[in-house]
Structure 1
Amino acid sequence: MKLSLNWLKDFVDIPKISLEDFAYDLSSKVVEVKGINTLGTGLENIVVGKIVRAEKHPNADQLKLCTVDIGAKNLSIVCGGSNVAEGMLVAVGCIGAKVTWHGEGDLVAIQKVSIRGEVSEGMICASDEIGLHDLFPKTDEKEIIDLGEKLEIRNLKLGIPLAEALGINDVMIEIDNSSLNHRPDLWGHYGMAREIAAVYKKNLKPYPARAIHAAKKPSALSVVVKDKTLCRAYSGVLMEGISIGPSPAWMQERLLAAGQRPINSIVDITNYVMFELGQPTHAFDAKHIEGGIVVREAREAETMVTLDGEKRNLSSEILVIADEKKPIALAGIMGGAKTSVSEHTTSVWFESANFDPVSVRKASKTFGLRTEGSVRWEKNQDPENALLGLKRLVALTQDIIPTAKIRGGIFSEQYWYPKIKPLKISLSFIEQKIGSKINKAEAVDTLQRLCFGVQEKKTKQDTTLTVQVPSWRATKDISLKEDLVEEIARMHGYNTIQTILPRFPIQPPQRNAIRDLQKRTQQILAFECGYAEVYSYSFESREWLERLEEDLSQYIELENPLAKDRPLLRRHLIPGLLEVAEKNLHRFDSVKVFEVGRVFHKETPGVLATPETSDRLPAQPTQLGFLSAQKGDETPFFAASGALERLFERLHVSYCLHAHGKIHSKIIHPGRFAKIIMVGSAMVGTIAELHPQIQEKLGIPYRAAIVQITLDDLVPFLHDTSSYKPLPPYPPVVRDVAFVVDCSVTHDSVVNTLQKGSPFLADVALFDVFSGTQLGEHKKSMAYHLTYQPKEKTWTSEEIDIMHAESIRLLKTSLGAEVRTS
């Protein structure tokens, strides 16, 4: 938002301080100032001149040789303006002035030059060449500025600076809109002047809205407000004797400083009231209104053309201003083209209303149309400004157009009032929240300067203030006593409050075992096992689950899902991991991913829905899932089991794998599946390979293994204590062994058999399993790394051979193994 410093001075005496200090005070106590721009900058060496002679250039058909009087002397200037005429007042760029050629490119300094053999001592400027295209819009590409439209020739002194002649001596202050989203009262100059008066302890001048003498007469147009929820107030009046022309120079200057292009007298008046009071208003050409005014919801399939020339398709959710036959405006957003004010307008219906902010926001998003008016309505404007804004419209119209008069009376009704309840706040509460001693007189004075009503009540221990909130602060901003503390603190000055650490007992937060386990798990899998963490949706697609042959009746269905194609809450993490694998394995040869997240089981009761009821939400355990798949790896089960082993080793918990039991999911390969069992036969998860049929149905090119662990079930087996084990002083020895055994022999039985042998056997690691016709029917090959760890000395080769031979003997005698030599 842009503010005019001169406009603000109409309502408050601003102290004589630097612009930088003024901007700092506003930023620290009111709103954030993005920048300050002194208008007229860039118009140096550009003065007012008069063309006293304009002759055809002897060597160019499209150019004229002009003699221009700039007061102190005459200049000879070559000009190609299409509207150049003798006696014309023009903007003259003298030597050294900076302009843009035809409004394009970088600034160029004017120099004395020869054009087609004639000396040119300056430049007669077009509006876009000196940044005044809004003030002097061009009707022709080669048109130069005609100052006679803005200035009285007989009272003008030639040669005066153009900025001075046009009254461009203002300062534009640009405000960051995000800093006043919660302050609907600051979207106009008067509201901002109210804050400035409070900051500098100055008096605020009354808002210049005169009483309307015809107010008690009935309105010339009938007004029916059918939706008093979306239209919270409506005021209107009919004015005749209107003559459309340009608005006064002072009004155009104000509007330009606020960033608004002047249009014509009536439109400029409505915009002026909006930028001054923050109250959007509208003017309709009354002769195009059929019957009276009706504020209603649009009818289905109804259409209208708005001021921007766009045809709008309306629905019953859109509030419109209509006459008895058609909609004539989108309420709070934009007027209609049929009732727009034009040069032929002789009577207008002025509207100053108040619209529901949510309704305006929704309609604005529906049409992709945000205007200065809609932005202000979205902030929840004060409904009392409806009548005040109408009075200002009438006063300005009567001042600018002397022939204008009111026909009939005004219509003004208010249907919604902000809930304004007095707030009680104690001085001790203020000091506690601010953390600094606040004088009672200062607190009361601050609130009163901000137009709050304040009553004091003293007790022996404290002083209580009863504060009445003004209507313009009650629509959105002030509702809690903490809001009042903020008002006092910002006016007191945040930079004056001493920074002191609060005093309270510091206690560590209550330990969350699930969260701690989740963090440890993420670190181990990511940093030690080389897995990448993924985040998938908590919502599942019916189509995807059906491809996985899942029982959809076991899933919780949302009544109002965020995405219509994902209406189900996930029961486990496998579908999401498989979706990641399907998308990535077509581009990468290896995928190793994991996820930690909550799942939802409707058959198991969880926590209470509310403390007041016995109803329970579905159980929401936290699960860990990880997936491993690699091109050429036909047994990814072992890669996944290696990561599982590393994880549990780092968590200092013991487990075993049981391949027995019923499989409850068609996703899992029935022959490559195991339960993860803890001490005491408690199951905490599963490890399995993806079923080949599901793999083919999903289009996953390689075999994949999946591990799923319920962290809630694993937590009881974790121990806080950790032990230190020194590194062995003697080097370990690793020997490999490969042997053929019956397919019924399991990895667990191999490990148990070997551990019965040498007490120095430290680790048994399976690294290969192979089966084929060359091995014989129902036979398989298993290959292991056997690690022997000496405790008292470094072994010789003969000693190692003896221990390894004993391990081979146990395999042969206990498992019937046939050791492979090649």
Structure 2
Amino acid sequence: MRVPLSWLRSYAAVPETVTAQEISDALIRVGLEVETVDQTGADVTGPLVIGQVEEFQEEKHSNGKTVRWCRVDVGEHNAGGKPTDFSRPGRGIICGASNFAVGDLVVVALPGAVLPGGFEIASRKTYGHFSDGMICSARELGVGDDHAGIMVLTPDTQGPELVEGPGIIRHRPPAPLTVGADAAPAIYLRDDVLDIAVTPDRGYCWSVRGIAREAALALDVDFTDPVSKIPDLVEGSAVRSAGYPVTINSDGCSIFVALTITDLDPTAPSPRWMQRRLHQAGMRSISLAVDITNYVMLESGQPLHAYDAAKLSGPIVVRNAQPGEKLITLDDVTRDLDPADLLITDDRGPIGLAGVMGGADTEVDDRTDTVVIEAANFEAVGIARTSRRHKLISEASRRFERGADPAATYSAAHRAAQLLVALGHGRLSSEETVAGAVPAAPQVGIDDQLPARIMGAPIDHGTVVDHLQRVGVAVADDGERLTLTPPSWRPDLTDPYDFVEEVGRIYGYQRVEPVVPSPPPGRGLSRRQRLRRWIGSALADTGHVEVLTFPFMAPTVLDQLGVPTDDVRRRLLRLANPLSEEQAALRSTLLPELFAAVNRNTSRSIDDLALYEIGSVFLAPQGSGVAPRVGVEHRPTDDELAAMDAAIGDQPRMLGAVLTGHARPNGWTGRAEPVSWRHAVAVAEIAARAVGATIRIEQAEHAPWHPGRCAAVVVVGPDGTGTSIGYAGELHPTVIDDLRLPKNTVAVEVDLDALIAAAPEIGRVADISTHPVVKQDLALIVADSVPSAAVEQALRAGAGALLEEVRLFDIYTGDQLGDGRKSLAYALRFRAPDRTLTDAEVAEVRQAAVDAAAAATGAEQRVI
């Protein structure tokens, strides 16, 4: 929201001695985000004066362009000008525009002036004459967007002070138009403009009214509300229906005001002060009727719409859309309407998308002499959904979806009518329509000591009452208990702690003494935190690069990954208000965003990648539990925490990694080594080794990995049983093609929480035996279909505690073994903690291992 200070001072009695920066600092103290303070017009320097065109000659040149050689009277600035062919005094200026006549007042930039963009004005010879200055357009001066012709000045007979309404604080009379005078005041060139980022809970600050109220509050000065209260419009009052007929057939509209203005002058222009304020606020001038509705919307925060009365057919009806209906909006787009869309209709059908944009059929134009002004209040959530459904964000929808003030409708409609009568020479019909009513505000009761307890500051009863009343809250004081009724423009005040926040920001957070809590002794990183850091350090030490991605994903990516419908990763948590409709769910796997990171890097010619991420995934709860809403005055109970956990769903912390290109580049030490499924498995092994956990690798099939090149990562417990915690391997070729990943991309994703849970306790060191180790090699022949991990597991189970280590060091296939058979060679290490093993003991344990492998996998011992 951009707010010119001259406009703000109309309602907040801020002394002229208070600078724009001081106002900005005060607004920041009460919680607004002032991004910049812009000095509009500061980029125009040098002599800029009002001139009068005395005569001109039209000349057509050889290039086909017609220009005017003008004599412009600039008063006292005529002296010193370049000589001209004209017989009377004045500046000779070449102008390519043709929208002016003799006697018109124009803005002249004399030699030495500098216009926006660093454009310096100097006397120069062009088209056979000396042009001794420049007649300027609105765009060249930075006061508007019009560049079709030069800016012709007419007296502003109606200045802001004549139409601001009762209780005006600052009067700014129209600047006189005197030939030779400084043109800056006449075109309202210079002003300070606050650019404020309005947060969603401060919808009332999408208006000059709201910002002026906050400025008056922050600087402790008087505030005059441009929106007067209408007591008989409260809920339950009788409607007025003498004006244009209106019917409300939806709960999405609480009140609708319709006023009729006749005998308008369609050619009446918008005054310069209005055009300038609109431009400073970031809007362009269109026509008088449209400019007035935009001006009042910026002023009051109440969006308005003007209908050409001649184009309306029958009564206005507010209702929801019917299946198959369409509407051509003001941006000339035909929109298919949804039954959830709220519409403004007449006998022909839809004429406006309520709260978002009007229809083209009833648009005012340069022949409109009778308009119907609409000022209504629509339900915020419905407008927000309609706006997003149609991808149509308008100035009106911005305000309605944040909660517009329903009590402002009547006053805003009459404000617009007042301006149309004053500036468009129209006549306001005495018959008006008010359908619906202003909803009653909810009441909230709080303890008068709640702000002091929550903020930890000495805020007494009187201070609480005073600060709440200053923000517009009606306070019923019953001693220690306060009954609060928020003002109509503050729909965000619904909870006791909302009112605590209001007291706090007026009291001043800078006055609250900070108290640093004393940490309990002996606390540091938890076991899980420490082990996660060990894993991250181990991966970084081995050349992997950690990335942090957004925790969102597109639900459709699970189809691209080939995830089955019954897979746990299909338990998506949908976002109620996603940042992007393409990523409308919390991630249930780390891989999609890692793949996106690969795409971003490969698009910049970075092909050899080893990226990993440690982060949570989010799975929807199995049931339909709702999290309890607990207070902030005490710690939640164990039952409340359990209920919240059940409603949230599982959030396991995962380790994901993606590798592409080469694990080792070409060099003098050897040839390049492309990444393969082994490198994905190595990531899991590095993580397990970092925390001392034992894992084994088993063949598996799991999307999105290649069925023949996918391994299950199994964590082995102390009793030798295994639990699958993830998968690693080469991605399926279809997945690689659909996601535009490099050929042979490999990935791994494992449950880090499960891996850490299987790790030994930190600080526990295995016993070191002083007795010698016995090394033996063993070769077993098994079928090709038997995994080496199954053989290894059987060897460990058969040998028992005396087997210290088993390692596969060779796999052989050949004619000597026959088809469908392979030889697995293992290196075995035996050791006892309390004695030296005898040959007989080793032979017995070795044979027990072979027997167990034979029983479990059908292995046959091979003589090496």
The question of a shared fold, defined as TM-score above 0.5 by the shorter chain, is answered with yes
Describe the shift of the 1:108–1:739 C-alpha distance in structure 2 as closer, same or farther (beyond 3 A). Answer: same
* TM superposition shift of 1:753: 12
Q: Which residue pairs with 1:377 in the alignment?
A: 400
1:722 equivalenced with 2:764 (yes/no) = yes
What is the rounded CA distance, in whole Å, between the counterparts of 2:826 and 2:685 in structure 1? 16
* TM superposition shift of 1:176: 1.7
Specify the SS of the correspondent of 1:772.
coil
Unaligned runs of 5+ in 2: 79-88, 159-173, 233-237, 626-637, 664-671, 832-838, 851-859
The one-letter amino acid of 2:2's match is K
Contact 1:361 1:374 in 2 (8 A): yes
Give the one of 82, 85, 107 matched to 2:118: 107
Q: Which residue pairs with 2:507 in the alignment?
A: 492
What is the rounded CA distance, in whole Å, between the counterparts of 1:572 and 1:675 in structure 2? 18
Specify the SS of the correspondent of 1:433.
helix
The one-letter amino acid of 1:359's match is G
The one-letter amino acid of 1:226's match is N
Q: Which residue pairs with 1:145 in the alignment?
A: 151
What is the rounded CA distance, in whole Å, between the counterparts of 2:805 and 2:74 in structure 1? 102
* TM superposition shift of 1:280: 0.5
Describe the shift of the 1:580–1:366 C-alpha distance in structure 2 as closer, same or farther (beyond 3 A). Answer: closer
What is the rounded CA distance, in whole Å, between the counterparts of 1:616 and 1:51 in structure 2? 76
The one-letter amino acid of 1:484's match is F
* TM superposition shift of 1:272: 2.1
Contact 2:248 2:436 in 1 (8 A): no
What is the rounded CA distance, in whole Å, between the counterparts of 2:74 and 2:655 in structure 1? 84
Give the one of 63, 70, 73 matched to 2:74: 70
Contact 2:239 2:433 in 1 (8 A): yes
Contact 1:518 1:596 in 2 (8 A): no
* TM superposition shift of 1:313: 2.7
The one-letter amino acid of 2:56's match is A
Give the one of 235, 242, 252 matched to 2:257: 235
What is the rounded CA distance, in whole Å, between the counterparts of 1:564 and 1:208 in structure 2? 38
What is the rounded CA distance, in whole Å, between the counterparts of 2:777 and 2:648 in structure 1? 53
Deviation digits for residues 693-743 of structure 1, max 9, x if unmatched?
x99999999999999889659836733442388999xxx9999x9887655
Specify the SS of the correspondent of 2:459.
coil
Give the one of 82, 106, 113 matched to 1:97: 113
Aligned pairs (5 A) from 1:326-725: 326-406=349-429, 408-414=431-437, 416-418=439-441, 420-427=442-449, 429-458=450-479, 463-473=480-490, 475-476=491-492, 478-502=493-517, 508=523, 524=538, 527=541, 651-652=691-692, 678-685=717-724, 712=754, 715=757, 718-723=760-765
* TM superposition shift of 1:279: 0.3
1:37 equivalenced with 2:38 (yes/no) = yes
Give the one of 23, 41, 51 matched to 2:53: 51
What is the rounded CA distance, in whole Å, between the counterparts of 1:588 and 1:27 in structure 2? 47
* TM superposition shift of 1:648: 6.0
Deviation digits for residues 400-437 of structure 1, max 9, x if unmatched?
3454031533323227444x21331323x323322333
The one-letter amino acid of 2:112's match is G
1:3 equivalenced with 2:3 (yes/no) = yes
Specify the SS of the correspondent of 2:184.
helix
What is the rounded CA distance, in whole Å, between the counterparts of 1:579 and 1:150 in structure 2? 58
Q: Tell me which moved more, 5-14 or 776-785.
A: 776-785
Specify the SS of the correspondent of 2:215.
helix
Q: Which residue pairs with 1:162 in the alignment?
A: 183
What is the rounded CA distance, in whole Å, between the counterparts of 2:40 and 2:736 in structure 1? 67
Specify the SS of the correspondent of 1:338.
helix
* TM superposition shift of 1:274: 0.7
Q: Percent identity at matched positions? A: 24
The one-letter amino acid of 2:509's match is Y
Contact 1:540 1:567 in 2 (8 A): no
Q: Which residue pairs with 1:252 in the alignment?
A: 275
Contact 1:49 1:92 in 2 (8 A): yes
Q: Tell me which moved more, 779-788 or 268-277.
A: 779-788
Larger Rg: 1
Specify the SS of the correspondent of 2:7.
helix
Specify the SS of the correspondent of 1:284.
strand
Contact 2:255 2:376 in 1 (8 A): yes
1:201 equivalenced with 2:220 (yes/no) = yes
* TM superposition shift of 1:370: 1.6
Q: Which residue pairs with 1:794 in the alignment?
A: none
The one-letter amino acid of 1:379's match is R
What is the rounded CA distance, in whole Å, between the counterparts of 1:638 and 1:326 in structure 2? 66
Deviation digits for residues 23-58 of structure 1, max 9, x if unmatched?
111122242222223344315411011122324569
Describe the shift of the 1:156–1:512 C-alpha distance in structure 2 as closer, same or farther (beyond 3 A). Answer: same
The one-letter amino acid of 1:349's match is V
Contact 1:654 1:679 in 2 (8 A): no
* TM superposition shift of 1:254: 3.2
Aligned pairs (5 A) from 1:217-232: 218-227=241-250, 229-232=251-254
Q: What TM-score, normalized by structure 2, do the two folds share?
A: 0.70
Describe the shift of the 1:560–1:226 C-alpha distance in structure 2 as closer, same or farther (beyond 3 A). Answer: farther
What is the rounded CA distance, in whole Å, between the counterparts of 1:668 and 1:56 in structure 2? 83
What is the rounded CA distance, in whole Å, between the counterparts of 2:541 and 2:818 in structure 1? 42
What is the rounded CA distance, in whole Å, between the counterparts of 1:640 and 1:368 in structure 2? 42
Contact 2:701 2:707 in 1 (8 A): yes
Q: Tell me which moved more, 569-578 or 301-310.
A: 569-578
Deviation digits for residues 603-639 of structure 1, max 9, x if unmatched?
99x99999689x9999998888999999999xx9999
Describe the shift of the 1:592–1:752 C-alpha distance in structure 2 as closer, same or farther (beyond 3 A). Answer: farther
Contact 2:26 2:215 in 1 (8 A): no
What is the rounded CA distance, in whole Å, between the counterparts of 2:682 and 2:189 in structure 1? 78
Specify the SS of the correspondent of 1:768.
strand
Q: What TM-score, normalized by structure 1, do the two folds share?
A: 0.73
What is the rounded CA distance, in whole Å, between the counterparts of 2:106 and 2:221 in structure 1? 42
Contact 2:572 2:618 in 1 (8 A): no
Q: Which residue pairs with 2:197 in the alignment?
A: 176
What is the rounded CA distance, in whole Å, between the counterparts of 2:348 and 2:513 in structure 1? 65
What is the rounded CA distance, in whole Å, between the counterparts of 2:591 and 2:46 in structure 1? 72
* TM superposition shift of 1:89: 1.7
Specify the SS of the correspondent of 2:406.
coil
What is the rounded CA distance, in whole Å, between the counterparts of 1:742 and 1:469 in structure 2? 83
Q: Which residue pairs with 1:793 in the alignment?
A: none
Q: Tell me which moved more, 515-524 or 701-710.
A: 701-710
The one-letter amino acid of 1:467's match is L
What is the rounded CA distance, in whole Å, between the counterparts of 1:305 and 1:776 in structure 2? 77
* TM superposition shift of 1:351: 0.9
Describe the shift of the 1:212–1:236 C-alpha distance in structure 2 as closer, same or farther (beyond 3 A). Answer: farther
* TM superposition shift of 1:132: 3.5
Q: Root-mean-square deviation (CA), in Å?
A: 6.1
* TM superposition shift of 1:508: 4.6
Contact 2:71 2:92 in 1 (8 A): yes
What is the rounded CA distance, in whole Å, between the counterparts of 1:278 and 1:36 in structure 2? 21
Unaligned runs of 5+ in 1: 101-105, 790-802
What is the rounded CA distance, in whole Å, between the counterparts of 2:120 and 2:593 in structure 1? 65
What is the rounded CA distance, in whole Å, between the counterparts of 1:120 and 1:346 in structure 2? 43
What is the rounded CA distance, in whole Å, between the counterparts of 1:99 and 1:624 in structure 2? 58
Q: Tell me which moved more, 86-95 or 308-317.
A: 308-317
* TM superposition shift of 1:655: 8.4
The one-letter amino acid of 2:512's match is I
The one-letter amino acid of 1:52's match is E
Q: Which residue pairs with 1:769 in the alignment?
A: 811
Contact 1:234 1:352 in 2 (8 A): yes
Q: Which residue pairs with 1:86 in the alignment?
A: 102
Specify the SS of the correspondent of 1:165.
coil
The one-letter amino acid of 1:767's match is F
* TM superposition shift of 1:505: 5.4
* TM superposition shift of 1:523: 5.3
